[in-house]
Structure 1
Amino acid sequence: MPLDFKLSFTQNAYIYLLAFLIVPLLVFYKSIIFSTKTYNTEFLSKPLTDCIKGLCITVIILHHIALRIQPPKLMLPYTFFGHLAVSIFFFLSGYGLTMSKLQKNNYLNNFFSKRLTKVYLPFILVNAITLIFALSLFNSKFSLIQILLYLSGLNLIDSTQWFVISILLFYIVFYLCFKFLNAEAAPKVILIYSFVYFFTLILFRFGEWWYNTAFCFPIGVYIALNYDKFISFIKRNYAFFSTLALICFAVTFYLGHFVPSVFSIILNTISSVCFVFVMLCFLFKVKITSKPLFFIGGIAYEIYLIHMKIFILYFNCIKIKGSYTVYIYLALVILVSFLFNKLFKLMRKPILTSNNKIQNM
């Protein structure tokens, strides 16, 4: 499928409105801002993290759109924002898995069936649908081996889906570490794996986006394991720590993206880590209560899986030159993602029910 085609609108006013006014309004509208020496101690609660997921997947969509607008003009900043949103997803994955492990004694039982049905099974189904569209609409030709490779994800028919493969590898490492190691050794091994993952992908010349956010996963693990200590530290040192995180992020982000250097990969990786701490400091003072972001966050994975497929189909078929067409595209993405979300839940239910019956026998 042609993922690299370019967009050219007669004017970009509507997408500017979305990126620089509507998205910030969604973040701050009805949000609770905490005063001096008061903090949002529920800054990583499920409702709030769902809002953050909604924000991050919106940024990722705008990032992919910005990369294809020629010239990007004012959307240029969004061409650099993709790895920042992904860094939050990696962090929340590590944090969420670890907190679930700490709160549920039998969490690792049926771990793979839960993860695979929630992550991998939808991935395979969407790949199958993508292949059907590629064969029927774009006259693509695939051998049987290619079809199997694309279905499984060993080859990516949609290059933006690399995150699925990456996070599944982290899931496997997480399971093995917490299944066979103690709570002290497990996060250290996960961190070591992150370094191995990072340098291996550099060695084999993978795209930078595959690995410049990898260290955010073990950060999530460490913060979950040391949650009370982290909260206490932030309360005592909020001004210093938030300022330091912001400065480090700003410097590394600028140098990594705007100053040509052989160290740009390292700088972008550091900026991803720093951004996680900037976001945590932000959430420690701002409680986001946006219902639209909460809703979008609830179907964020489905949006991630299908947004580029709909992008290709929509912008190949609809020849509207005004940038307001992006709103129609987004509405379509949300609607289809919502329907897929319902479908995937129906598909998971009998599998998980069967596993629970076997476990209780």
Structure 2
Amino acid sequence: MPTLTFKLIFSYRIFIYLLVFVLFPILLFYNSSLLGVKSYNHEFLSKKSTDCIKGLSILVIILHHISLRMQPVGFMGIYTCLGHLAVSMFLFFSGYGLMVSKLKKKNYFKGFFSKRLSKVYLPFVIINAITIILTSLIFGTKFNLKDIIFYLSGLSLIDSTQWFVIAILVFYLCFYVCFKFLSTNLAQHILLFLTFVYFFAMIFMGFREWWYNTAFCFPLGVYAAINYDALTKFLEKHYVKTLIIALIAFTFFFFLAHMLPSAIMPLYQTIASIIFVYLVLLFLFKFRLSSKPLLFLGNIAYEIYLVHMKILVAFFSFIGARGSYIVYLYLILVIIVAFCFNKLFNLNKNKKVKLT
């Protein structure tokens, strides 16, 4: 796949500003409600709440990748720093979702890998195969057999943003090893230890910071699921105090992570990501989210993630419009393609269910 070397130079940026600073907040709070004083949302980690946050997070990730290529970046500069925060929520919800299912279902690990592979890895392979075919036809890119095998399998990334697929599969494996063979109490701590191993291994092998600066959000989600009742009581008792502390701490580490370049910036990013997850939990504890647009996006968030960068390359390579309104057309195209893939993958799953 051709490397995206061009810059996005918009003659005016008003439409993208309206999108991120006006429309996004409207989407978040549409059909949602703020609870009163000393009233809390005890379903703050329900599927509806998490899907809303996933929907907003995937939009932030897309705008993050767009902002990195805007010249000049203008007020979109803040979005160049938000990518890892959005990813932190996906890792947290992944860990939380796995653990909740494990606690509720007997024989949870029966077919564990087949389910994970069909849900995460198979779409990855299919979309990469389509990408190889279309890139060859449209851009005339040549792929040898080794390239094809490596890109399809994930040994090499045809799209650098696909690192998340490899990372989440590693965490799935760690989760399986820990909770399949150990008690829940011991497994959660071993998982945290393995996350430390992953964190330092990525640094030692020279991987870029996005491979590991949100890693601890996965075991954090696991801990939240196991200690849900204790977490809820803690939030009720210390809501205001911890909100103030978390806001101050997040501002401090976010500033260090993005405003003061240093060799340990990834560490600051890691701490900022963890605190950000806690801030989102505090937000969900006071807001009952029911935004239908975000729910829709949350349900197809993974497919959006898989296709958005590929479409970005093709779309802005061929579209010559300079007004930032073009971003809306790009987003619509991404959503349509992702929705179609989502239906395709779900159709395949439904067929398997009927056959069994």
Post-superposition offset of 1:242: 1.4
Match of 1:341 in 2: 342
What does 1:226-241 correspond to in 2, within 5 Å? 226-241=227-242
- Kindly tell me the number of residue pairs found equivalent between the two proteins: 355
CA distance in 1, matches of 2:37, 2:23: 28
1:295 matched to 2:296? The reply is yes
Match of 1:196 in 2: 197
Match of 1:168 in 2: 169
- Secondary structure at the counterpart of residue 6 of structure 2: coil
CA distance in 2, matches of 1:90, 1:69: 27
Task: Map Cα deviations across residues 79-103 of structure 1 (whole Å, 9 max, x no partner).
Answer: 0000000000000000000001111
1:119 matched to 2:120? The reply is yes
1:149 matched to 2:150? The reply is yes
1:16 matched to 2:17? The reply is yes
- Contact conserved, 1:201 with 1:211, CA < 8 A, in 2? yes
CA distance in 2, matches of 1:131, 1:349: 27
**Structure 1 moving runs of 4+ over 3 Å:** 350-354
1:307 matched to 2:298? The reply is no
Post-superposition offset of 1:76: 0.0
Post-superposition offset of 1:353: 5.2
CA distance in 2, matches of 1:261, 1:318: 38
Match of 1:49 in 2: 50
Task: Map Cα deviations across residues 299-355 of structure 1 (whole Å, 9 max, x no partner).
Answer: 00000000111111111111111110110111111111111000011122344555x
CA distance in 2, matches of 1:101, 1:287: 26
- 1:275 is matched by which residue type in structure 2? F
Change (3 A) 1:352 1:148: farther
Match of 2:104 in 1: 103
Measured on the aligned residues, the alpha-carbon RMSD in Å equals 1.1
Match of 2:31 in 1: 30
Match of 2:79 in 1: 78
- 2:266 is matched by which residue type in structure 1? I
CA distance in 1, matches of 2:246, 2:353: 41
CA distance in 2, matches of 1:4, 1:228: 49
- Contact conserved, 1:119 with 1:164, CA < 8 A, in 2? yes
CA distance in 2, matches of 1:44, 1:238: 16
- Secondary structure at the counterpart of residue 251 of structure 1: helix
Match of 1:244 in 2: 245
Structure 2 unaligned regions, length at least 5: none
Match of 1:93 in 2: 94
- Contact conserved, 1:54 with 1:296, CA < 8 A, in 2? yes
Match of 1:272 in 2: 273
Post-superposition offset of 1:106: 2.0
Change (3 A) 1:62 1:161: same
CA distance in 2, matches of 1:300, 1:3: 22
CA distance in 1, matches of 2:165, 2:138: 25
- 2:260 is matched by which residue type in structure 1? V
Post-superposition offset of 1:3: 2.6
Give the % identical residues. Answer: 55
- 2:268 is matched by which residue type in structure 1? L
Task: Map Cα deviations across residues 93-131 of structure 1 (whole Å, 9 max, x no partner).
Answer: 000000011111122110111110010000000000111
- Contact conserved, 1:3 with 1:158, CA < 8 A, in 2? no
Match of 2:186 in 1: 185
- 2:218 is matched by which residue type in structure 1? F
- Secondary structure at the counterpart of residue 68 of structure 2: helix
- Contact conserved, 1:201 with 1:210, CA < 8 A, in 2? yes
Match of 1:134 in 2: 135
CA distance in 1, matches of 2:75, 2:311: 24
Post-superposition offset of 1:281: 0.5
So what's the TM-score if we normalise by structure 1? 0.96
- 2:324 is matched by which residue type in structure 1? S
Task: Map Cα deviations across residues 194-224 of structure 1 (whole Å, 9 max, x no partner).
Answer: 1011111111111101100000000000010
- Secondary structure at the counterpart of residue 12 of structure 2: coil
CA distance in 2, matches of 1:154, 1:245: 38
Does 132-141 or 53-62 show the bigger shift?
Answer: 132-141
Post-superposition offset of 1:31: 1.5
CA distance in 1, matches of 2:315, 2:141: 18
- 2:213 is matched by which residue type in structure 1? N
- Secondary structure at the counterpart of residue 92 of structure 2: helix
CA distance in 1, matches of 2:264, 2:124: 34
Task: Map Cα deviations across residues 153-197 of structure 1 (whole Å, 9 max, x no partner).
Answer: 110000011100000010011111111011011111110111011
Task: Map Cα deviations across residues 230-288 of structure 1 (whole Å, 9 max, x no partner).
Answer: 00111111111111111111100011110122221111110000000011001111111
- 2:159 is matched by which residue type in structure 1? D
- 2:221 is matched by which residue type in structure 1? G
